[in-house]
Structure 1
Amino acid sequence: MEKNIFKFKTNINCMGCVAKVTPTLNEISEIENWEVDVRNKDKVLTIETQSLNQNEIVAAVEKAGFKIEKITN
């Protein structure tokens, strides 16, 4: 199965925010890898998954209390 890489603009802007969202993203077994570039002005969250869709990722991040929007390529 092909791996999908999704990128999102977020308000996860510091290591404290990353720590807050980590348990939520780590408990989703379909996420193979994720990272937030807090140095980027858009605080880009990159997610690697084979089976999740973008809406499921958005719902999880919003549930953790953060804003997130899809970045179109």
Structure 2
Amino acid sequence: METLKFKTTIKCTGCVNKVTPFLNEAAGEDNWEVDLQNADKTLTVAAGEKTTADKVINALEQAGYKGERIN
């Protein structure tokens, strides 16, 4: 399973709550996490067969956030 990492505009737990349904749909429940302690607010996704970087970025945009792949 590939691991994808993204620099995001997610800033707080409220933001995480807002983006949760979008990321759950794009990547699956329990397949992603946001490191709010990191300055880049890094989103890490355990990508399955159907999960792509574009799909994750699109999910972030639908929720009102931006993401840039960093790996």
- TM interval, short-chain normalised: 0.7 to 0.9
For residue 65 of structure 1, what is the aligned residue in structure 2? 64
In structure 1, what is the Cα distance between the partners aligned to 2:69 and 2:61? 12
Q: Which runs of 5+ in 2 are unaligned?
A: none
TM-score (norm 2): 0.87
Q: Structure 1 segments of 4 or more deviating over 4 A?
A: none
1:48 to 46, 49, 54: 46
Q: Which has the higher helix share?
A: 2
Query: Once superposed, what is the RMSD of the aligned Cα atoms?
Result: 1.3
- CA distance in structure 2 between the aligned counterparts of 1:10 and 1:36, rounded to whole angstroms: 9
Q: Percent of aligned positions with the same letter in both sequences?
A: 48
Please report the TM-score for the alignment, with normalisation by the length of structure 1: 0.85
- Say which of 18, 23, 26 aligns to 2:24: 26
- Give 1:4 deviation, angstroms: 1.0
Aligned length: 69
Deviations 1:9-51 (A, max 9, x none): 00111000000001111223x5361000001000000001222
